[in-house]
Chains A and B, each alone.
Chain A
Amino acid sequence: MKVLTVCGLGQGTSLILKMNVESVLQSMGISGADVENTDVSSASSMNADFIITSQELSETLAGHSSTIIVVNNYFDEEEIKKALEPHVS
């Protein structure tokens, strides 16, 4: 499973989201997920199963072949878990 976490610059915030997504996936008992952080321009030309990002950036990525999952608070592992659950399990 390939997951992209996306922010505007692809440096800081998306990296934190990546670390939180990894820890959430681990707590859900899912191993072997490849989570990568990147900026919004690169993401639009990359292939992945899921893209996790904010509401604003999800509008820019509309039409992408990956399933886009919106998370508003990147630090809220509960919210990340709730957003991921319908897609992976």
Chain B
Amino acid sequence: MDIILWIAQNIFVTPAVLLGLIVLIGLLLQKKGPSQVISGTFKTIIGFLIINAGAGVIAGTLGIFEPMWKEVFNLESTALSDFMGQDAFSNEFGSMVAMAMTLGFLINVLLARFTKAKYIYLTGHMMFWTAMIFTGIVVNTVGTDVNFWGAVILLAVVLGIYWTVQPALTQPILRKITGNDNIALGHTSASVALLGALGGKLFGNKENDAEKLKLPKGLEFLRDSNVITALTMGILFVIGAIVVMTKSTPGAQELVASAGSQNFIVFAMIQSFTFAAGIAVVLMGVRMFIGELVPAFKGIATKIVPGAKPAFDVPIIFPFAPNAVVLGFLGAFVGALIWLVIIGNTVAYIFVPTMIVLFFHGAAAGVFGNATGGVRGALLGGFLTATVVAWGQYLMVTTFIGKTIPDTAMWAADSDMFILGPIVSFLAQLLL
């Protein structure tokens, strides 16, 4: 009994070690050599620990961004209510995330084995973030004393079904875009991609294909997520800083004073680069453990499910319509600015438009919108993405995840999670 208790206290409550163990088993099942087993297991543990470090950096810059724009809109400077934050949440509930993700994947494999939907979800970093956000919702709804295995089973079932059904829903249109049936889309932008396709069909013109347009050269930097993140957050930070500097309210003075002897605009610019740096750190950590986990998962899946179709990350569809990608992003970016102003002035919430979400999700909606409605469809798809993301983030942060990880919801939660979030919350209330 003592041994079980010891294992529970030392391994199951330490998510990094638990994930390391899962990868270790995966690598051993695939009969990898000792060198690969050791490096894979270690990189998983280190990668998970790196995520917390980056999350702290991001939260620090959001702590400047939010009050800054509240000043711009003359809003009451009430900070978010008490919340755990990614760091504390990972330490306490990270094991729940890891278990839910692993069991959810096994449910996905079993559904693919025994139903007609032969899709195996392999976008590891999105599996991780979806599991993370949904766990945040469950804990927020039920409370921190939530039953561990009850929550894990609910989350695993929801995730397993989502990872199987989502690629099946996007496949009819994806088949038209790629011209084959070998690969599927496994990404949380599915809802806005389908909305984009619907919008394109209703309001677009299919004949006006975006790929016939000649887009200006010099947009290559849009391919690099670090650069666009720093650039767009930089624009918003600098605009905010300039407005704040023209004001003499106590809040504005306090913000300017927080820069110390540094010029406030320079300070704000550095915040935007720090924000991008924080995201780069988190993504490095995610890369380290997902890079070990996904090949292990794939090894298991291909053994169990004959004829499985892998569902992949969204950039796989970009080469089929590169212009629609740019148009979708532009639509999403303009939409995000409009919603920043409208939401700031109506419900007094400061929307944080992160470029990872606007770019990848806007692009997906752009490609799907172009497939049914040409240029207009692509732009509309992007705008619809911004609409879902802006209002979704507002609902998440204020209602569904406010006590747990609103900091993460501001930059790592996205389209499908916002649409499924309320359902997860409802199920948690009903069943746990």
Contacts and interface: CB of A to CB of B under 8 A. Distances in A.
Interface of A: 7-13, 15-16, 18-19, 36-42, 54, 56-57, 59-60, 72-75
B224 interface: yes
A12 B124 contact: yes
Given A12-B126, A18-B291, A39 B225 contact: yes
Contacts of A7: 315
Given A12-B123, A54-B319, A60 B283 contact: no
A11 B283 contact: yes
A42 B283 CA distance: 11
Interface of B: 122-126, 182-183, 187, 220-221, 223-227, 280, 283-284, 286-287, 290-291, 294-295, 298, 310, 312-316, 319, 322, 356, 360
A32 B111 CA distance: 36
B224 A8 contact: yes
Contacts of B360: 9
Contacts of A75: 182-183, 316
Contacts of A60: 220-221, 223-224
Nearest to B312: A16
A37 B284 CA distance: 11
A9 B163 CA distance: 21
12 contacts: A9-B283, A10-B287, A11-B290, A12-B123, A12-B314, A13-B312, A16-B122, A16-B313, A40-B224, A41-B224, A54-B319, A74-B316
Contacts of A11: 124-125, 283, 286-287, 290, 313
- Chain A contact residues, majority secondary structure: mixed
7 nearest interchain CB pairs?
A12-B313, A13-B315, A11-B125, A41-B226, A9-B225, A8-B223, A12-B123
Contacts of A40: 223-224
B90 to A, nearest CB: 19
B315 A15 contact: no
B223 A15 contact: no
A44 B118 CA distance: 38
B124 A15 contact: yes
A53 to B, nearest CB: 10
A1 to B, nearest CB: 16
B223 A12 contact: no
Contacts of A15: 124, 287, 290-291, 294
Contacts of A42: 284
B205 to A, nearest CB: 27
Most buried by A among B224, B310, B360: B224
Contacts of B284: 42
A57 B223 contact: yes
B364 to A, nearest CB: 13
Contacts of B187: 12
B294 A39 contact: no
Contacts of A56: 220, 223, 322
B165 to A, nearest CB: 19
A19 B293 CA distance: 12
Given A7-B315, A16-B312, A75-B316, 18 more contacts: A8-B223, A8-B315, A9-B315, A12-B123, A12-B125, A12-B313, A12-B315, A15-B124, A15-B287, A15-B291, A19-B298, A37-B291, A40-B224, A42-B284, A56-B220, A56-B223, A56-B322, A57-B223
Contact of B319 (A12, A38, A72): A72
Given A11-B313, A54-B319, A19 B295 contact: yes
Nearest to A36: B291
A39 B283 contact: yes
A54 B325 CA distance: 15
